[in-house]
Structure 1
């Protein structure tokens, strides 16, 4: 699997810059989901950030969001 190492990118959440490290596959899936929802990636990240618990890091919350999105899609096909 290529691109397995996390890549750090900057996001702006409600006017504040932050860095998030995700594997390329998660960045790509995250961008695709934002596009499907007609949202800027920063807006979607801010929504995820607002909904996560203090014990969950933003990168983990984004990965779990991406996983849940595609799991839900698979279940809808069944």
Structure 2
């Protein structure tokens, strides 16, 4: 089942280097982020920690995760909804 169009962000907890952090992302970004982590063979928390460590302090974690997912999608490393058979 695909997410509803224009769904509000969903808050999830991540553990980054032993510390809990809450992040709000839209369902499509969570799905794509999980897909990238799976493709890389990484746990979601490990990939989030890697992105967190590389972001400038003035960029929020949610923004960094969205930007990462967008760059992966633009590079063709994430299947889009049409590629996955969704309408």
TM-score when scaled to structure 1?
0.90
Show the counterpart of 1:26. 29
| Distance across 1 between alignment mates of 2:6 and 2:75 | 25
Query: Of the candidates 61, 66, 74, which is equivalent to residue 64 of structure 2?
Result: 61
Counterpart among 4, 7, 10 of residue 4 in structure 1: 7
SS at match of 1:9: strand
In the other structure, the counterpart of 2:82 is: none
* CA distance in structure 2 between the partners assigned to 1:72 and 1:29 by the alignment: 13
In terms of fraction of residues, the more helix-rich structure is 1
**Does the residue aligned with 1:73 lie in a helix, a strand or coil?**
coil
**Per-residue deviation, 1:3:** 5.1
Give how far 1:35 is off: 0.1
Moved over 4 A (4+): none
Structure 1 contact 3–25 (Cα < 8 Å) conserved: no
Cα root mean square deviation, aligned: 1.3
